[in-house]
Structure 1
């Protein structure tokens, strides 16, 4: 799996302190390395600006801003620096003094407003270095007014934030509007560590704003201790591996190519379980069987394909079917209208992977089945129903699920524009690749079938989730703006 560690604000501070106090890095050196990495990462962007304004705060984030201002000036750019107040750190004071010596002066907030009133529309690139990831609490009235001016002004054609957008706090989402004042950054440059609190940064509905990571020499690989790391990872797409993994080998037979059992499709909802199974079989699955409470299931299945196996039954009867003993994966839920009581307390066979989707997502208090490889795949509404809590951010969902998953020994994949997998051992994985083409009826059923396909190949649940999401990412390339789930599946089948 391709993944990178995500650090909380507290963990990032611990690594920063470790680098300075134990490894002997000079704070000025780290600030300089941070600024240099941002400069080189955005060389094409700087060239688009008539003028670059950098707003610097009083902490380390402000120090990074001063350091960047110095580099930009020396490289010939028209740069202006403004301070909300004098910098408090020794390293920050060093760069503030350096900038003052080369620019002649560092403006204050009052100067910022005066020059802003005279600036032309779309003439300024703004760098936000006001508040870093360590900021907690409420903004002062002065800073809130400043940030709202930045957001509302047509003077700034681009807003680049260092480390995090000043004022951003994912735990304020869903609260009163006045607590949600933050810079509407067009992009964020994360310095030294990838930041957990930045995951899901949005200011437009379901639109994740780009974040770029810049290495500055932090010891993030050699010091992944329990103190400095909380087992959160950022997943990167691996589309080619996802495709190659699905391709059958010459020596495969129907079981080694992957087997799966599907249960779902209440009356009138049979299409959901059929689509889920179709995703599994058309992507190379060797053998499968569909069970459903619907009396129509056999006629619907055999009408499409006489080679399919299908049966009308209760879920309890499915557990007794000989096919279950031969298969590795079972998907329950697509097309069901309510949580099956037969799942409550069911002891899942040791080597069987169970995927619970849609109608098989339990409500709060419903007893779960017992096993060591159970994956629940709720969307946000189902997660709220499942836990009895409302969640407005990925971070809030994580806080709930870290206890839920360990307490029930289950894996949970939260499906949203940012997807989150939380594992019973406390590890978690974030997938941040919004795909509006999946916002259509049936794509959840599609995902459950694709997950079953990877699970049937003896991949672990985290590996299967990574491969399934990477594979589904190919649907972004469809020319159809609003494809149906069947159109998406057809395009994916062509890849393998």
Structure 2
């Protein structure tokens, strides 16, 4: 396993506090010095992003996040920029009180009155990574004022109201245009509600390097751009997997077509389709490279299953007797498999633990059914939910959504930073199933790696396809951009 770096490693709030302490020890600095470095990094980010800004209002809370805010305001004053502080709650920690006093002694203006008038930029230094409950009345009022001001907002370390662990918002949350986080990334800033609150994210190391995380196992890893290696000139289709896509009940032939087409587009050597007889002509017309055959029951799957190296089960499968019979036959074959859609819904009804390499790709609703809980429970902690499904079924899990999470039964977690709202449209999940199945056929020995690569490629292809606009993006638009991403020509 590659040693994680500060750029890719993600940590919980508790781990981040331990990393801060380790950084001080390695760097040979005390807490006030580290806070000063944080304030300086945040101020420099503010100046880069809004170079024309002259008047800054910093909203400070009672803890060390507030201390960073006081010191940022002091730095701004030292640079000749009028700045003032709104102390929403008086400083309560030693660090916050010391920073408050330094700002005041430097001629700074501190007021408890929530007055944001005259500002060019607002700085959110209200609440740090230790948030464990909804913001109180004063904080909630301040957050509402920030969001209603219509001004650029810089968040210090994390937008106030956002959970560093889960990416959920506890009541109110600041909507920042940019966030400067310190030393190490917090995992909650890459999933769930974070996308609507973090803005442009910048990591400021404050002089630290990878040594500060040597004693901490990352809670998760942030996916990095990948492309498949160039193929040997001496290649044949048998080297790159034979995917069998199973699905397409009455009226849903398009789902299995999209799945199979995506498997082709990511390099599967051969792709077969087992589906209703009524879909065969349409499949031949739409994608002549596919090899469809009518499946009217378990016996008709015997020959296709024997030839296939990887199965993609679920797109358009339905939960009727036809779908259930094919689903059961496919699972009993013991082949490497990607399971999606109604394949997951039937797994929730008839649970089993997998021994062959298996990848499950639930959206939050399907994930809730797999764990026997509500969708809200899944979204409350997506990291825990993905890990729980992986453990329960002994399969790799791709929990889809904003900041998709890939979990392995051994506890590994990766988070996808790509994707866009235009991908919230029918058929995107079918494309993802085909992408992962096609890659699993080429990397069947490592389903976790195949799931991570497939998730990232799918999301990046969606971003590339959305360059002309997110609204109206169709799932089949990704069939062209998938090739660009996998061949490393998308400039990601």
TM-score by length of 2: 0.85
Residues 273-352 of structure 1 mapped to structure 2, 5 A cutoff: 273-292=256-275, 294-304=276-286, 308-313=290-295, 316-317=298-299, 320-321=302-303, 323-338=304-319, 340=324, 343=327, 346-347=331-332, 349=334, 352=335
- Counterpart among 429, 432, 442 of residue 417 in structure 2: 432
Encode CA deviations 1:319-345: one digit per residue, 9 max, x unaligned: 632x54454321001111126356459
CA contact (8 A) 1:207 1:434 kept: no
Q: Aligned equivalents of 1:208 and 1:347: distance in 2?
A: 45
> Does residue 476 of the first structure (1) align with residue 466 of the second (2)?
yes
Encode CA deviations 1:191-222: one digit per residue, 9 max, x unaligned: 12211233336489x78733322212456555
Encode CA deviations 1:18-47: one digit per residue, 9 max, x unaligned: 344687531112112212222223323342
> Does residue 378 of the first structure (1) align with residue 362 of the second (2)?
yes
Q: Aligned equivalents of 2:188 and 2:375: distance in 1?
A: 15
Secondary structure of the 2:443 match is: coil
Match in the other structure for 2:86: 82
Match in the other structure for 1:32: 36
Encode CA deviations 1:211-263: one digit per residue, 9 max, x unaligned: 322212456555444xx445312223x1xx43x54x65421111113321111
Encode CA deviations 1:427-471: one digit per residue, 9 max, x unaligned: 111113232332222222112112122222216333333333235
Q: Aligned equivalents of 1:229 and 1:481: distance in 2?
A: 39
Match in the other structure for 2:175: 184
Q: Measure how far apart 1:357 and its partner are.
A: 1.2
> Does residue 457 of the first structure (1) align with residue 442 of the second (2)?
yes
Q: Measure how far apart 1:128 and its partner are.
A: 1.0
Change (3 A) 1:283 1:432: closer
Q: Measure how far apart 1:269 and its partner are.
A: 1.1
Change (3 A) 1:183 1:195: same
> Does residue 144 of the first structure (1) align with residue 129 of the second (2)?
no
Secondary structure of the 1:340 match is: helix
CA contact (8 A) 1:166 1:182 kept: yes
> Does residue 235 of the first structure (1) align with residue 223 of the second (2)?
yes
Choose 390-399 or 263-272, whichever is displaced more: 390-399
Match in the other structure for 1:168: 162
Match in the other structure for 2:407: 422
CA contact (8 A) 1:378 1:415 kept: yes
Q: Aligned equivalents of 2:168 and 2:443: distance in 1?
A: 40
Q: Aligned equivalents of 1:54 and 1:361: distance in 2?
A: 49
- Counterpart among 199, 202, 205 of residue 190 in structure 2: 199
Q: Aligned equivalents of 1:387 and 1:315: distance in 2?
A: 29
CA contact (8 A) 2:263 2:438 kept: yes
Change (3 A) 1:249 1:66: same
Match in the other structure for 1:11: 15
CA contact (8 A) 1:455 1:461 kept: yes
> Does residue 257 of the first structure (1) align with residue 247 of the second (2)?
no
> Does residue 216 of the first structure (1) align with residue 198 of the second (2)?
no
Q: Aligned equivalents of 2:172 and 2:469: distance in 1?
A: 37
Q: Measure how far apart 1:362 and its partner are.
A: 2.7
- Structure 2: gaps (5+ residues): 488-492
Match in the other structure for 2:490: none
Secondary structure of the 1:42 match is: helix
Q: Measure how far apart 1:125 and its partner are.
A: 0.9
Choose 410-419 or 78-87, whichever is displaced more: 78-87
CA contact (8 A) 2:263 2:435 kept: yes
- Counterpart among 427, 431, 448 of residue 442 in structure 1: 427
Secondary structure of the 2:8 match is: strand
Q: Aligned equivalents of 1:490 and 1:252: distance in 2?
A: 23
TM-score by length of 1: 0.84
Q: Aligned equivalents of 1:161 and 1:73: distance in 2?
A: 19
Choose 359-368 or 164-173, whichever is displaced more: 164-173
Match in the other structure for 1:66: 70
Change (3 A) 1:421 1:461: same
Change (3 A) 1:279 1:85: closer
Change (3 A) 1:326 1:37: farther
CA contact (8 A) 1:9 1:197 kept: no
Q: Measure how far apart 1:425 and its partner are.
A: 0.9
Q: Aligned equivalents of 1:303 and 1:86: distance in 2?
A: 70
Q: Aligned equivalents of 2:108 and 2:289: distance in 1?
A: 80
Q: Aligned equivalents of 2:90 and 2:149: distance in 1?
A: 25
- Structure 1: gaps (5+ residues): none
Q: Aligned equivalents of 2:37 and 2:162: distance in 1?
A: 24
